[in-house]
Amino acid sequence: MREVAIIGVGMTEFGELWDKSLRDLLVESSLKAMDDAKVDAVDAIYVGAMSSGLFDNQEHLASIAADYLGMVGVPATRCESACISGSLAFKGAFLDVASGYSDIVLVTGVEKMTDVSGDKAVAGLSTAADDEFEGYNGVTFPGLYAMIANAHMKKYGTTRRQLSLVAVKNHANALKNPNAQFRMKVTPEAVEGSVMIADPLHILDCSPITDGAASVVVAPLELAKEKFAHHKIVKVIGLGHATGTIALHSREDITELDAVVKAGERAYKMAGLGPDDIDFAELHDCFTIAEICELEALGFCAKGEGGLMTERGETLPDGKIPINISGGLKAKGHPVGATGVSQIIELVEQIRGDAGDRQLKKADIGLAQNLGGSGGSSIVTILKGLGSRV
């Protein structure tokens, strides 16, 4: 298999984008990524989207992408796996290039979620859970993650304040991200005083409903060196994909995200690295408890110590391993189909040294972890800059 590099990135602002349609967002981020890569044509397109049919009455996004990008005839594929839809599209493009089937491939993750009512958006997102056993009985994702949080607090002594500190950190990081949906400072007291959604989770523990799109262009590493070295070249060195049970009641321990553990192990093995080799990470903080569980699942700390790690400041920008410098899903926003691709963009910009005010001092090797539903699927991607240490 050929080695693969990311040669271009681009994304829209995340937020309530009333004046832009689903296809507007898809085209905007795609053209930005192609412009960044300095390419005017691609061999294939992969689109990640979870619920365009439910939110926008528009499926067949593969054809939409090729048509509205002026690339009719180019093969295009739409990928769906709940909130990892964008990362799954990236995996498809990676394998397309690595196999030699294509040379230049565009990946775009997109979701337009605010053109429906809040109730309809929640109902649409709930289709990523087990409808027969969870949705039918009225459980939505805040309820599912509240169960995880309560179990984690009981088993490991994780505190309400530790959950709050995840939100505080990610909102502080988002203040430096011009594309973030919520560029505002919050305090622990504000988190704990916000509206209760599902005990112990308040509204400021939850990621928002978001519109947005994010795109990357990938190519063989050798071709990137020859023709597309416009920026520091960023190489894909690890990619792991795994599934877990879709329903919480099927798990032996709901505090453990098995899909994240397995995806992480596979990505680390491919990269020939371990958790201590990672400089920074973008984790799927759909709820504050998710980030805490993912720290543990990826080996950044021992089981049960994700809350303590957060409280000790080890996930801050100047900490042991900075987490969610972009602001994460919590504050950057969570247009579900675009989320995984936007995580990869943050890694690329940090590794290139292009992250502006949020640039880390040490950003050679980065990890992105994307989660589907309450842990039914996960993809972990590891990137490094060419010439970086391994």
Residues 287-307 pLDDT 10s: 999 999 999 999 999 999 999
Q: Are residues 308 and 350 in the same domain?
A: yes
Lowest mean pLDDT among 35-49, 124-138, 336-350: 124-138
For 59-78, letters b (16+ CB in 10 Å) and e give eebbebbbeebebeebbbbb
Check residue 388 and give its pLDDT.
Answer: 56
96-to-77, 93, 353 alpha-carbon distances in Å: 11, 5, 28
Average pLDDT (185-194) is 98
Q: Are residues 197 and 218 in the same domain?
A: no
Q: The tokens of 302 are what? A: 């021992």
| SS3 labels along 290-305 | HHHHHHHHCCCCCCCC
Residues 83 and 216 in one domain: yes
| Statement: residue 353 has pLDDT above 50 | yes
Q: Classify residue 197: in a domain, yes or no.
A: yes
Q: What is the 8-class DSSP label of residue 83?
A: B
The CA dihedral of 251, 294, 51, 376, to the nearest 10 degrees, is -20
Task: State the virtual CA torsion across 18, 21, 25, 30 in degrees, nearest 10.
Answer: -160
Question: Do 104 and 128 have their domain in common?
Answer: no
Please indicate, yes or no, if residue 89 is contained in any of the structural domains: yes
pLDDT-derived band of residue 390, with 50, 70 and 90 as boundaries? very low
Scan for tokens 């919050």, then name that residue. 186
Let me know: does 352 contact 231? Beta carbons within 8 Å. Answer: yes
Mean pLDDT for 186-207 is: 98
Residue 299 lies in a domain: yes
Does residue 83 have a pLDDT over 80? yes
Percentage of the chain beyond pLDDT 70 is: 99
Q: What is the pLDDT of residues 1-26, one digit of tens each?
A: 999 999 999 999 999 999 999 999 99
Tokens 């080996």 found at: 299
Residue 232 lies in a domain: no
Same domain, 199 and 180: yes
219 is in which domain, residue-wise? 4-117+209-227
Of 110, 136, 3, residue with least CA distance to 56: 110
Query: What are the beta bridge partners of residue 367?
Result: 281, 382
Q: Confidence class of residue 31 from pLDDT cuts 50, 70 and 90?
A: very high
pLDDT surpassing 90 at residue 346:
yes
Structurally, the chain folds into a number of domains equal to: 2
324 & 213 share domain: no
What whole-number distance in Å separates Cα of residue 56 and Cα of residue 77?
19
150-168: pLDDT as tens digits: 999 999 999 999 999 999 9
Contact call for residues 282 and 87 (beta carbons, < 8 A) = no
Residue of 237, 339, 177 lying closest to 6 (CA atoms): 237
CATH number at residue 148: 3.40.47.10
Q: What is the pLDDT of residue 387?
A: 72
Specify if 389 maps to a domain. no
Whether the CA torsion 16, 20, 24, 28 is positive or negative: it is negative
Q: Specify the length of the chain in residues.
A: 390
Q: Are residues 158 and 200 in the same domain?
A: yes
Confirm if 231 and 278 have CB atoms less than 8 A apart: no
The mean pLDDT of the chain is 97
Say which residues have a Cβ less than 8 Å from residue 318's Cβ, sequence separation at least 6.
Answer: none
- For residues 200 and 217, state if they share a domain: no
Active site positions, annotated? 83, 334
Domain boundary among 196, 227, 258: 227
pLDDT for position 65: 98
In a domain, 390, yes or no: no
Calculate mean pLDDT across residues 329-341.
98
Asked if 145 and 276 sit in the same domain, the reply is: yes
For residue 269, tell me if it sits in a domain. Answer: yes
Asked if 200 and 213 sit in the same domain, the reply is no
* DSSP string for 305-337: -HHHHHHTTTTSTTSSS-B-TT-HHHHH---HH
| Whether residues 46 and 150 fall in one domain | no
The mean per-residue pLDDT over the stretch 280-293 comes to 98
Q: Are residues 89 and 171 in the same domain?
A: no
Going by C-beta distance under 8 Å and a sequence separation of 6 or more, which residues neighbour residue 35?
A: 8, 10
Tell me how far apart the alpha carbons of residues 63 and 263 are, in angstroms, rounded to a whole number. 30
What's the Cα-to-Cα distance from 218 to each of 10, 269, 274, 340, 347, rounded to whole Å? 12, 22, 25, 15, 14
